[in-house]
A and B are shown apart, each in its own frame.
Chain A
């Protein structure tokens, strides 16, 4: 499987926060040639290990990218065969109108989120966002059959297969943060040809979108010497200041801020310069929001960094990113890992 195939397969697959298990076989099969072992932990994180060749005990570097996606959950039935729903994670109500969805009931059922036609709207209705609580899903079933096939609490994903845009760009759902998972894959592809002394734990984490939960427990289990979260950052779009975004196609963002250990940041920048890998600097002032924070405050504290892929239209079904940013991020990580030795890791402990 190529990295591109993996990105497309992951973007189209289902795995709402808390219900990521369908992704495990897909990931295990793709990663297996590049790793020594894989296991699923108690909350469903997929923990993959590629051993280093240094003398034991080896230092541990943990990479974390979340595999869950935002989605919807069925909350009730409405007479006439309609379903009410709520959000799982940060769904923007405005993007839901007229979307196609898949309801994961006793079987997967395609559905649509209906919209009131313009002809029969009240005056002024178009100026207001339709709230999620007023929306409904129509799968085309009668009331009785509907309740047999779909239970309250069943998950719903947006039905959007990825498309290839110009300039090797991809648009689709769940690029946040399955593109990060693909970066781990690309990193391991590079590492397969190189020598590194530290053990590399590539963790596809669960439940990031509902509160960085998977990274919390998987980090507790691994207790790495260095943790690096891979997530997405806002790509450049019209109407948003450049200072708040990362340009597409100019390499990943290397985050600097309270959740980032300054010396790991320095080393990442050095490595990028040394190998001529494009990057942007991403100031991150808020401590929460990515797996990096969960990793940083685990047990006695973990030196942590954050790499962000520029991504436009975050939390919509058309999240858009550029392939060469993924490749650059994978290479940057691989070169960073190769440059890590015990002395460097010991040095991180005196801040």
Chain B
């Protein structure tokens, strides 16, 4: 498990440029499913076929990650950039960025009156170039960079960039490995461009036209010092989504997940996420509507290079998904 997660989080895949991570996921999941393909927007769609007339259920975990995009290169070879997805300037100080070809840069910022004036447009990336020409030989306008950080496993807790949402991808892959006799047709979808507006899931759901949807993504916790109040903690089980900004989970799916967790004795907690969205949003509004819910992996420090999850929660999420997919649907 740790090795799989390490490979997933360290893969390059900012929103809109997921090819590297997509190709890795495709290779890993190919032997575990009946068919796998990549669609027009770059979503990886792996299918475990069901018997004739089976209900179609779509699982979605986004594989893209947040990052930065180069907007300008100056005469001295410094790169200006904008964000891709939710990137805080304060998080970038002291960080390293890696481009698709492996070029690494560091973030710096201009002289400021105070730290509250720190905005992305006061920052730049330094790749060590001494001139515009030298920089342009490595990086062009429009090139995208992601956090450059290695995976760390420390007991039950793992720390890495992009656990949002490569840990969800790991959950889907492992569920595909363990799921043997589902009475349903199961779509394991690794979606593109979630971080910039839940875009891949929207088109994937349209083309797959599922009967039910379950998104798998990370969620916030309220278990750190003086945190914003939230009844989700690391290590207390799979989180079953009640709502976020993009969906109110369909009661049928929410209850199915809760009842499965209770019956199988899988630790779970209820997630009411007041800010933030998931792929469950666009899935449930597809065509004439898709009853949809979500299973979430509790995660601290989301959108930093040091996101943290508990592997016991990950295991519980996998068990909950597998048990749900093996049973009857509402």
- Using a CB–CB distance below 8 Å, which chain A residues touch chain B? 17-19, 21, 41-43, 45, 73-77, 84, 86, 88, 133, 151-153, 207, 210-211, 213, 216-218, 220-221
Give the complex CA separation of A21 and B272 in angstroms.
21
Give the complex CA separation of A19 and B270 in angstroms.
17
Segment of B20-28, B166-174, B248-256 in the binding face: B248-256
Complex interface: chain A residues within 8 A of B117 (CB): none
B83 to chain A, nearest CB (A): 24
Complex interface: chain B residues within 8 A of A19 (CB): 248, 251
A156 to chain B, nearest CB (A): 12
Complex interface: chain A residues within 8 A of B254 (CB): 153
- Using a CB–CB distance below 8 Å, which chain B residues touch chain A? 229-231, 242-243, 246, 248-251, 254, 269-272, 274, 284-291
Complex interface: chain B residues within 8 A of A74 (CB): 272
- 9 closest A-B pairs by CB: A18-B248, A153-B242, A217-B289, A221-B288, A152-B270, A43-B289, A76-B231, A42-B289, A153-B270
On whether the beta carbons of A217 and B231 are closer than 8 Å, the reply is no
Contacting B272 at CB < 8 Å: which of A45, A73, A133, A221? A73
Central interface residue in A74, A133, A153, by most chain B CB within 10 Å? A153
Complex interface: chain B residues within 8 A of A75 (CB): 229-231, 272, 274
Give the complex CA separation of A21 and B66 in angstroms.
38
Complex interface: chain A residues within 8 A of B248 (CB): 17-19, 88, 207, 210
Complex interface: chain A residues within 8 A of B285 (CB): 213, 216-217
Give the complex CA separation of A210 and B271 in angstroms.
17
A223 to chain B, nearest CB (A): 10
Give the complex CA separation of A82 and B237 in angstroms.
24
Give the complex CA separation of A182 and B284 in angstroms.
28
Q: Which residue of chain A has its CB nearest to the CB of B211?
A: A42
Q: Which residue of chain A has its CB nearest to the CB of B222?
A: A76
On whether the beta carbons of B288 and A41 are closer than 8 Å, the reply is yes
A300 to chain B, nearest CB (A): 14
Give the complex CA separation of A41 and B289 in angstroms.
8
Q: Which residue of chain B has its CB nearest to the CB of A212?
A: B285
A44 to chain B, nearest CB (A): 8
Give the complex CA separation of A268 and B133 in angstroms.
65
A283 to chain B, nearest CB (A): 29
Complex interface: chain B residues within 8 A of A18 (CB): 243, 248-251
On whether the beta carbons of A43 and B291 are closer than 8 Å, the reply is yes
Contacting B290 at CB < 8 Å: which of A21, A42, A77? A42
A148 to chain B, nearest CB (A): 13
Complex interface: chain B residues within 8 A of A133 (CB): 229
A–B pairs, 7, beta carbons within 8 Å: A19-B248, A43-B291, A84-B229, A152-B242, A152-B272, A153-B243, A217-B287
Complex interface: chain B residues within 8 A of A221 (CB): 287-289
Give the complex CA separation of A84 and B270 in angstroms.
14
Q: Knowing A43-B250, A76-B231 are in contact, say whether A151-B289 is a contact too (CB < 8 A).
A: no
Complex interface: chain A residues within 8 A of B246 (CB): 211
A213 to chain B, nearest CB (A): 6
Q: Which residue of chain A has its CB nearest to the CB of B288?
A: A221
A15 to chain B, nearest CB (A): 12
Give the complex CA separation of A145 and B330 in angstroms.
29
Q: Which residue of chain B has its CB nearest to the CB of A77?
A: B231
Q: A19-B248, A76-B230 are in contact. List 7 more A-B contacts (CB 8 A).
A: A18-B249, A18-B250, A45-B289, A75-B231, A153-B270, A207-B248, A221-B287
On whether the beta carbons of B288 and A218 are closer than 8 Å, the reply is yes
A20 to chain B, nearest CB (A): 10
On whether the beta carbons of B274 and A86 are closer than 8 Å, the reply is yes
Q: Which residue of chain A has its CB nearest to the CB of B242?
A: A153
Q: Which residue of chain A has its CB nearest to the CB of B240?
A: A153
Complex interface: chain A residues within 8 A of B271 (CB): 153
Give the complex CA separation of A86 and B288 in angstroms.
29
Give the complex CA separation of A98 and B289 in angstroms.
38
On whether the beta carbons of A42 and B231 are closer than 8 Å, the reply is no
On whether the beta carbons of B272 and A42 are closer than 8 Å, the reply is no
A75 to chain B, nearest CB (A): 5
A62 to chain B, nearest CB (A): 13
Give the complex CA separation of A245 and B248 in angstroms.
31
